[in-house]
A = this chain, B = another copy of it.
Amino acid sequence: MPKVSEDHLAARRRQILDGARRCFAEFGYDGATVRRLEEATGLSRGAIFHHYRDKEALFLALAHEDAEHMADVAAGGGLVQVMRDMLDRPTDFDWLATRLEIARKLRSDSTFRSAWQARSAELEDATLARLERQRSAGRLRDDLPTPVILSYLELILDGLITRLATGQDTSGLHAVLDLVEESVRQHSESES
């Protein structure tokens, strides 16, 4: 395929994803109808669903973008750094709310749940790889299996997303994240 077509394809997909993200954020998953997706992207349903099979595929593509971005941060600074970034940077709270609204669908629709988990695997892999490096470097407490620590950090990330999506006060949460980091760190003997 000539270069210009590839560029065009990428630009068109970008246009669809950006519009769809705004649409889901404003109307929620159920409220993002085909008509509203057309309005938000400025494209016809034919053009949209030429690139993405259906609304579900579009939503999963956006979830995948989130996971890729978070995985980049987690690979370098860990999952707590992902959370600190969410606290510090203007986050799209409406989009986060949409991530909560699909809870029922995640539980009742196993195909959707598998696809969602596949899209999030990058983040889990990046976090796990960093935890193992921290462990090798003697910076991770060695009395707990890595999966327990991973599960602990993921639970806190889920809590943080809920906190941000519901607009609760987050001013004290950096101190909470300090506690989280400290609770999984290896303490040197001189500290104990």
- On whether the beta carbons of A151 and B172 are closer than 8 Å, the reply is yes
Q: How far is the CB of A82 from chain B (nearest CB, A)?
A: 14
Cα A192 to Cα B192 in complex, Å, equals 5
- CB nearest to A27 among chain B residues: B104
The number of chain A residues with a CB under 8 A from chain B is 44
Q: How does the 8 Å CB contact mask read for A143-170 relative to B, with 1 for contact and 0 for none?
A: 0110111011011111111110111000
Q: How far is the CB of A124 from chain B (nearest CB, A)?
A: 12
| A101 interfacial by beta-carbon distance below 8 Å | yes
| A183 interfacial by beta-carbon distance below 8 Å | yes
Interface set, chain A 101-116, CB cutoff 8 A to B? 101, 103-104, 106-108, 113
| A129 interfacial by beta-carbon distance below 8 Å | no
| A179 interfacial by beta-carbon distance below 8 Å | yes
Which residue of the partner chain, among B96, B148, B182, contacts A176 with CB atoms under 8 Å?
B148
- CB nearest to A184 among chain B residues: B179
A152-B179, A155-B160 given; name 7 further pairs at CB < 8 Å.
A104-B165, A108-B167, A151-B175, A152-B176, A152-B180, A155-B156, A183-B183
